[in-house]
């Protein structure tokens, strides 16, 4: 808009706003993203985060590097903060650490996991994760899939006391582990659990989420799209009318808003390495969320 006056520019913006065109002018500006508190401390984190399974397990060619840096920049500019990884995810920890050299580490809440047996193996793997992700303090360290849970939690407790870890958690990706997770929530001093929960897998609603709420434990949700299977099931289905009521334009946003309408969910962490998809995901963290009636309508519209 070279050559126009300030008053002309302001008039142009006011007309654009009235016409609903500012999203195209300022694509990363939107309503403030939903934040939820970590129960043990009251610290707030954005309710939409980002996983790195498969999507960050890549070789950093110049093209891939540019694309993933763009994903992280969009993620952060739209209010994102939580990035979840694991030593199990191949190159993902290294890639996160490398890319964050181009950004401000303080802008992010970094989480990863230990996934091994034995005290020495765990200590070695944990130290390697710090190096790979290029951090001195990890925001959240989790025991992946409950592997050698007592041993690894003992190490994590020690590191938390030393100020190397801010929060401790446990994870699993299948609902058959929920009974064991429930026992651990009631017997160990953990801050987070990470579990599978989606519109197609709602087992967590019956026990795990209520127990987490009663125990003041934060909940990260993995596999919100069932590893992409939900999109395959919806391929030939139109977006239902309920989508407009809750401000959704894609199935991904419907699935994410459904999850976040459960108050005991702290943050959902869909994985993506696609700039378009990260925008869609982050937009799902704003605006209205389904009430009980709307949740029921969404379930009916999916009808697996």
Whose tokens are 């739209």? That residue is 78
55: closest CA among 46, 67, 37? 67
136 domain-assigned: yes
The pLDDT value given to residue 236: 87
Q: How many Cβ atoms sit within 10 Å of the Cβ of residue 142?
A: 28
7 domain-assigned: no
pLDDT over 70, % of the chain = 90
50 domain-assigned: yes
Q: Convert the pLDDT of each residue in 96-108 to its tens digit.
A: 999 999 899 999 9
Domain count, the chain: 1
Whose tokens are 């409950």? That residue is 146
The CATH number covering residue 203 comes to: 3.20.20.100
The pLDDT value given to residue 5: 47
pLDDT band at 30 (very low <50, low <70, confident <90, very high): low
250 domain-assigned: yes
pLDDT, average across residues 229-234: 93
Residues in Cβ contact with 270 at an 8 Å cutoff, skipping those fewer than 6 apart: 48, 50, 51, 224, 225, 252, 256, 281
Whether residue 175 contacts residue 204, with contact meaning beta carbons closer than 8 Å, is answered with yes
Q: Convert the pLDDT of each residue in 123-175 to its tens digit.
A: 999 999 999 999 999 999 999 999 999 999 999 999 999 999 999 999 999 99
The pLDDT value given to residue 198: 97
8 domain-assigned: no
The pLDDT value given to residue 29: 47
Whether residue 93 contacts residue 129, with contact meaning beta carbons closer than 8 Å, is answered with yes
Is the pLDDT at 8 greater than 50? The verdict is: no
The pLDDT value given to residue 102: 87
288 domain-assigned: yes
6 domain-assigned: no
| Run of H or E residues at 98 | helix 92-99
Domain that holds residue 72: 30-302
pLDDT band at 253 (very low <50, low <70, confident <90, very high): very high
Burial class of residue 64 (count of CB atoms within 10 Å of its CB; 0-12, 13-18, 19+) = middle
**Coil, helix or strand at residue 24:** helix
Burial class of residue 134 (count of CB atoms within 10 Å of its CB; 0-12, 13-18, 19+) = middle
pLDDT, average across residues 12-36: 56
* Residue 56 tokens, joined: 């960050």
Is the pLDDT at 268 greater than 60? The verdict is: yes
Q: Convert the pLDDT of each residue in 61-72 to its tens digit.
A: 999 999 999 999
169 domain-assigned: yes
């Amino acid at each position: 808009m070279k050559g126009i006056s300030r008053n002309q520019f302001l008039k142009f913006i006011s007309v654009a706003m009235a016409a609903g065109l500012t999203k195209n002018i300022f694509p990363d500006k939107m309503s403030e993203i939903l934040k939820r508190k970590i129960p043990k401390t009251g610290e707030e984190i954005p309710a939409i985060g980002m996983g790195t399974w498969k999507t960050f397990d890549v070789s950093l060619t110049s093209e891939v590097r540019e694309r993933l840096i763009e994903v992280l920049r969009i993620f952060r500019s739209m209010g994102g903060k939580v990035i979840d990884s694991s030593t199990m995810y191949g190159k993902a920890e290294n890639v996160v650490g490398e890319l964050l050299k181009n950004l401000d580490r303080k802008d992010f809440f970094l989480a990863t996991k230990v996934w091994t047996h034995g005290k020495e193996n765990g200590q070695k793997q944990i130290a390697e994760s710090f190096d790979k992700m290029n951090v001195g303090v990890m925001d959240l360290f989790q025991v992946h899939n409950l592997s050698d849970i007592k041993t690894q939690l003992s190490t994590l407790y020690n590191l938390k006391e030393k100020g190397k870890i801010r929060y401790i958690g446990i994870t699993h990706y299948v609902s058959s582990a929920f009974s064991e997770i429930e026992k651990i929530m009631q017997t160990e001093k953990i801050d987070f659990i990470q579990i599978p929960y989606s519109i197609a897998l709602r087992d967590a609603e019956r026990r795990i989420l209520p127990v987490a709420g009663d125990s003041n434990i934060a909940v990260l949700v993995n596999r919100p799209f069932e590893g992409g299977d939900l999109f395959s099931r919806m391929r030939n289905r139109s977006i239902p009318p309920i989508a407009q009521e809750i401000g959704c334009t894609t199935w991904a946003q419907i699935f994410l808003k459904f999850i976040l309408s459960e108050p005991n969910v702290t943050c959902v962490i869909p994985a993506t390495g696609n700039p378009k998809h990260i925008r869609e995901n982050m937009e799902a963290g704003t605006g209205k969320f389904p009430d009980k009636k709307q949740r029921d309508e969404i379930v009916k519209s999916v009808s697996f």
